[in-house]
């Protein structure tokens, strides 16, 4: 017996590193500590590993009646339920493993199943404890003292153990999670439910990785438990929101001599003052597959005169603008001083869209789609580069001033035609034994494609992004931009 328990424990530990197909169970949050431990116990599961977890059929008539009643109370259709076919999936418990107590991961009644969040919501505490073996059902002895039949490991697992996922990079069924890539970094802050995200670029504007010169640190939190039986396993919460701060980076202005020398240098800059960043996803309670998504990014202060270090900013000579825009050089003037160079600055951006989540087969949710359709807004302003200071010894440009006050000829780029406003995105994810995903987006008249595939299990992946401007590129835009990154994804 001890040997078998050691094997199961080893499998659970190995689970974090070897799993390749996901089952997602969702935490209800704000529960007593003992019940919260039950929910937090479920990790991302591999179908081949699941079969070695404790599984049994409940054959105790009184327990069958109580479990059936809980499923009916939860609102499951009667035609899906079968009191004579109740199956439990569990893991060794934290109460007293020597006596055979278990943590319940899933309860299936006929063709319906409940995740830990639903079990905690619809099962009484006494029913949960007796089912797990924490309390004796018969009143004598220890562990599971009711009638049950063990399911051997060679028996196949049910389709409910191949649950749907909304965000592969932010699993909700674990206590701690971290995902690291060059595009973004995600960290789950324990049992608080909060996520800390650090994101490079502005994907919603079509400017991925460093092409926008923007980075944002965001705090994200899901709220409002989804009580819709059809969708709650895949969509545990009806709303998640984030709030944060964006800032400017100098990376990418001159990548020569760095590990990113193969990438195209950029000239677009984030705002001088930093940005306020916020967003939300709101799903409709009556149809959680549908919802509204929105985000906004605005500078804390308007552009103003400022002394800068030129090597930390992207800029270009006005000669290129004269050729491309047919603008007159004499337009770029500031009280008797000609402007020779332009500094483009991302001023503000935002998006609002309606979305729809779809699975081709809910009983075997291997193929997941998300569709977004809406409006986007992107605004970029030109500033003049003046008061250049040249080091007399090295003849290098070491100082300058950027300004907008009193200048003429500077331009503001913002939506001016219907296609500038269009936001369209289609995302596909395969959630079988070898999960992978891809998306295609049109925003700001820029096409962006993204894809990721697993390399080792579900903890090492490879992600790539490619963007191309569909109209004539603006002076600060990169016509084509490709970036690839490894992704490390660990859960505890």
420-479 pLDDT, tens digit per residue, is 999 999 999 887 657 788 999 999 999 999 999 888 877 888 999 999 999 999 989 999
Torsion angle of the four alpha carbons 321, 327, 328, 331, in this order, in degrees rounded to the nearest 10:
-90
- Please check whether residue 409 lies inside any domain of the structure: yes
199-203, long-range: CB within 8 Å, 24+ apart, which pairs?
A: 200/249, 202/297, 202/346, 202/349, 203/441, 203/448
Give me the number of domains the chain comprises: 2
| 436-452 confidence digits (pLDDT tens) | 889 999 999 999 999 99
Neighbours of 152 (CB within 10 A): 8
- The pLDDT score that the predictor gives to residue 346 is 94
Name the residue among 374, 377, 297, 308 with its Cα closest to residue 343.
308
pLDDT at 8: 42
Report the pLDDT value the prediction gives residue 325, as an integer from 0 to 100: 55
Identify whether residues 413 and 379 lie together within a single domain.
yes
Question: What does the pLDDT read at residue 326?
Answer: 54
- In this structure, the answer to whether residues 230 and 260 fall within a common structural domain is yes
How high is the pLDDT of residue 95? 46
308: closest CA among 402, 232, 372? 402
Element (H, E) at 450: strand 446-456
Residue 87 belongs to a domain: yes
Q: pLDDT at position 100, please?
A: 53
Together in a domain, 349 and 374: yes
- Per-residue confidence (pLDDT) for residue 37, from 0 to 100: 43
Same domain, residue pair 25 and 90 = yes
Q: Check residue 308 and give its pLDDT.
A: 87
Tens of pLDDT, residue by residue over 120-154, are 889 998 898 889 888 888 877 778 888 888 887 76
Task: Say if residue 223 is in the same domain as residue 111.
Answer: no
Beta carbons within 8 Å of 222's beta carbon, 6+ residues apart: 172, 193, 236, 237, 239, 240
Residues (pLDDT < 50) of the chain are 1-46, 95-99, 159-165, 330, 334-336
Q: What pLDDT sits at residue 158? A: 53
Q: Are residues 144 and 229 in the same domain?
A: no
Asked whether residue 155 falls in the same domain as residue 219, the answer is no
Who contacts 473 (Cβ-Cβ below 8 Å, separation ≥6)? 479
Residue 58 covered by a domain: yes
Helix (H) or strand (E) holding 462: strand 460-469
Q: Is there a domain that residue 231 lies in?
A: yes
Co-location of 248 and 375 in the same domain: yes
Q: Which domain holds residue 274?
A: 177-491
pLDDT at 25: 31
Same domain, 339 and 480: yes
| CB-side neighbour CA atoms (13 Å) of 273 | 14
Question: What is the CATH classification number for the domain harbouring 471?
Answer: 2.40.160
How many Å apart are CA 295 and CA 300, to the nearest integer? 16
Strands (E), 95-213: 102-109, 112-114, 148-150, 177-180, 184-188, 195-202, 207-208
Q: What dihedral angle (degrees, nearest 10) is formed by the CA atoms of 222, 225, 229, 232?
A: 20
Q: Does one domain contain both 124 and 221? A: no
């Amino acid at each position: 017996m001890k040997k078998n328990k050691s094997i199961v424990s080893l499998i659970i530990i190995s689970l974090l590193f070897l799993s390749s197909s996901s089952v997602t169970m969702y935490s209800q949050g704000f529960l007593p500590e003992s019940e919260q431990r039950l929910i937090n116990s479920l990790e991302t599961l591999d179908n081949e590993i699941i079969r070695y977890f404790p599984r049994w059929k409940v054959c105790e008539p009184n327990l069958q009646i109580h479990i059936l009643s809980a499923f009916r109370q939860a609102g499951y259709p009667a035609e899906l339920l079968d009191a004579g076919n109740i199956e439990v999936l569990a893991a060794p418990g934290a109460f007293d493993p020597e006596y055979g107590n278990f943590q319940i991961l899933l309860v299936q009644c006929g063709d319906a199943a409940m995740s830990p969040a639903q079990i905690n919501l619809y099962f009484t505490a006494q029913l949960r404890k007796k089912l797990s073996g924490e309390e004796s059902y018969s009143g004598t002895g220890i562990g599971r003292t009711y009638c049950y039949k063990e399911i051997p490991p060679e028996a196949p697992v049910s389709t409910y153990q191949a649950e749907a996922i909304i965000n592969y990079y932010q699993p909700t069924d674990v206590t701690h999670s971290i995902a690291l890539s060059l595009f973004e970094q995600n960290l789950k802050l324990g049992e608080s439910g909060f996520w800390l995200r650090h994101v490079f670029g502005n994907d919603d504007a079509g400017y991925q990785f460093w092409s926008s010169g923007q980075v944002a640190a965001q705090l994200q939190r899901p709220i409002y438990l989804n009580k819709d039986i059809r969708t709650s396993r895949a969509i545990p919460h009806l709303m998640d929101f984030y709030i944060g701060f964006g800032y400017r980076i100098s990376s990418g202005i001159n990548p020569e001599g760095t590990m990113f020398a193969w990438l195209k240098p950029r000239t677009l800059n984030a705002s001088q003052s930093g940005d306020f960043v916020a967003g939300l996803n709101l799903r409709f309670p009556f149809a959680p597959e549908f919802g509204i998504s929105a985000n906004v990014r605005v500078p804390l202060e308007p552009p103003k005169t400022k002394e800068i270090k030129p090597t930390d900013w992207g800029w270009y000579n006005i000669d290129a603008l004269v050729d491309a825009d047919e603008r007159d050089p004499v337009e770029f003037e500031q009280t008797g001083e000609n402007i020779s160079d332009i500094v483009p600055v991302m001023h503000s951006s935002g998006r609002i869209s309606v979305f729809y989540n779809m699975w081709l087969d809910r009983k075997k949710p291997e193929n997941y789609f998300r569709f977004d359709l809406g409006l986007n807004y992107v605004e970029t302003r030109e500033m003049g580069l003046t008061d250049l200071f040249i080091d007399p010894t090295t003849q290098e440009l070491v100082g300058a001033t950027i300004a907008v006050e009193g200048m003429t000829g500077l331009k503001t780029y913002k939506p001016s035609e219907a296609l500038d406003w269009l936001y369209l995105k289609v995302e596909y994810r395969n959630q079988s034994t070898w999960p992978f995903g891809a998306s295609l987006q049109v925003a700001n008249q820029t096409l962006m494609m993204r894809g990721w595939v697993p390399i080792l299990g579900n903890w090492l992946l490879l992600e790539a992004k490619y963007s191309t401007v569909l109209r004539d590129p603006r002076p600060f835009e990169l016509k084509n931009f490709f970036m690839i990154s490894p992704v490390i994804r660990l859960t505890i």
